[in-house]
Structure 1
Amino acid sequence: MQKTIKILGIFMLVIFTALSFSSCSDNSEEDLMKDDSFAGVYRGGVSYQDADQDISTTEGSVFVTKVISDKKYNFAFSNNIPALNDIDVEKTGDNALIMVGSNATAYVRVENNEVKIAYTKDGKTWNATCKR
């Protein structure tokens, strides 16, 4: 009987230890993936220009989405304006994202309630000044 209690005690200790380790995983990457406070629709002025077209409206929108990586965002524009995808950004504080390293002439700033874009690459230019 004492041997059975000892084996049962060791078994319970092993189970408890395994459960303790599995519940203490590092959630920092998972938490970053969930942080999509900048994602959403921003409405206001948007424009696009290239060799073939010139689109401009004060009643457009930009739909901001976070890519799998915590440092990349996509910007989908209204009015048949091509999207800007996989833009590298850096979080500055809790309230803003700014664009980092690029081979384009660009200014991208996303705040909780506002997005500003002035992006030029390969003869194409995107602009946006929108609010939520």
Structure 2
Amino acid sequence: MKNAIKVLSLFLIITMVMIACKKDKDPATTDFFVGTYKGSVSYNKDGTTITSSDGKITVSKVGETYNFFFGNNIPDVTGVKFEKSGDNTYISIGSGVTGITINASTLKMLVSKDGATWTADCTR
């Protein structure tokens, strides 16, 4: 009987720990869109245009802002803040960096800043 109580107690403790560890988190707090997206990218400034149908953008988070690192000699877009728009989709906010929509599987970008324009239509 003592062994049965010990086993049952252990089972209850393990169950409680598992339930306590499972939390419904906002995707923004879990950085669900940090990673690499691939697809069409372009950059244009002062008549110089760089385009690639096989481009790559790596998204990273530093504090409250996100950074978009391009390949193909395209300058990076950094210091972007987001707000939630719908179910697990986020749009960029702030001066000069509006025009980015991102979720766990797609990244769409049309950003104009300091006379330059970045575009992206990527997935992962």
Q: TM-score, normalised by structure 1?
A: 0.67
RMSD over aligned Cα, in angstroms? 2.1
Shift of 1:37: 0.6
Which residue of the partner structure matches residue 56 of structure 2? 61
- Counterparts of residues 1-132 of structure 1 (less than 5 Å): 35-51=30-46, 53-69=48-64, 72-93=65-86, 95-102=88-95, 104=96, 106-132=98-124
Q: May I ask how many residue pairs the two structures share in their alignment?
A: 99
Runs of 4 or more above 6 Å deviation? none
TM-score (norm 2): 0.72
Checking the alignment, whether the CA contact within 8 Å between 1:89 and 1:100 is kept in structure 2 is: yes
2:16 aligned partner: none
Partner of 1:15: none
Larger radius of gyration: 1
Q: Which runs of 5+ in 2 are unaligned?
A: 1-25
**Percent identity of paired positions between Structure 1 and Structure 2:** 39
Q: State the shift of 1:100 in Å.
A: 1.5
Q: Deviations over 1:80-101 (max 9, x none)?
A: 1000000121133552111123
**Unaligned 5+ residue runs, structure 1?**
1-30
